[in-house]
Structure 1
């Protein structure tokens, strides 16, 4: 068994889903392992990780719209230290996830035909986000 770790920096443009499948796959392939498990961890409380369809952009837009309705920006939250999008961002993260696991099979991430890895930015303004990759395998 071997293991490797890396931190991906992802520059967001503001709220929305930002795909990073190619970056994660490229790094995993470069490790030279054939079989294993890639764990991905988002180091933030106002952004999250998703595996989602990467073919039709309407899926991403519908998800973004849904979460905007579910946890809207409002002055009704107690926590507003960084503005009206602060607490809704934390709520959206709590409803999604900050960690994913994806098997590595034949040196490739075992994602389905229409699946992609996404950082879901919940804040309105651009941010530099970090996703830690940890690969354990042979």
Structure 2
């Protein structure tokens, strides 16, 4: 019987701008390597206090809309008590309360069971950290149940 658990860390360069990075292809490649034909769960986790994981449509403006909405909800000004780093950086530490640092997704027969327009994305509003890690973990068994 194949291993029931596998994990891998992605290194993602997010740069010095707020960004939404599509990780869907990276997730698919990981599953191809560790879970061909198997079903289970993929956990996507960002071990950072200022980033999150979202499942949303990309490429049609939704990623920019998400960043704009976060800017309205969490303005980058001097209202935040957490004050190290770039002015307004305290908002980045509140982000994971709104965009969780993890997502658990179904895997069926070795493939993510996402909706037609859904993508798995890293959301990073912290312009002080230009590199991020994302841990992908597969937990599963045999083929489709």
Q: How does 1:86-105 map to 2 (within 5 A)?
A: 86-105=89-108
**1:46 matched to which residue of 2?**
50
Alignment partners' CA distance in 1, 2:76 and 2:132: 21
Contact 1:7 1:132 in 2 (8 A): yes
**1:61 matched to which residue of 2?**
64
Query: CA distance change for structure 1 residues 75 and 100 in 2, over 3 Å: closer, same or farther?
Result: same
Select the structure that is richer in strand. 1
Alignment partners' CA distance in 1, 2:58 and 2:77: 31
Which runs of no fewer than 5 residues in structure 2 stay unpaired? none
Query: CA distance change for structure 1 residues 78 and 32 in 2, over 3 Å: closer, same or farther?
Result: closer
1:36 aligns with 2:40: yes
TM-score by length of structure 1 reads 0.92
Q: Number of aligned pairs?
A: 137
Query: 1:125: Cα distance to partner?
Result: 4.5
Alignment partners' CA distance in 2, 1:133 and 1:105: 16
Contact 1:35 1:137 in 2 (8 A): yes
**1:11 matched to which residue of 2?**
13
Which runs of no fewer than 5 residues in structure 1 stay unpaired? none
| Cα offsets for 1:66-103 (capped at 9, x unmatched) | 11011101112221111213211112222110111011
Alignment partners' CA distance in 2, 1:85 and 1:44: 17
Runs of 4+ in 1 over 3 A off after TM superposition: none
Contact 1:73 1:84 in 2 (8 A): yes
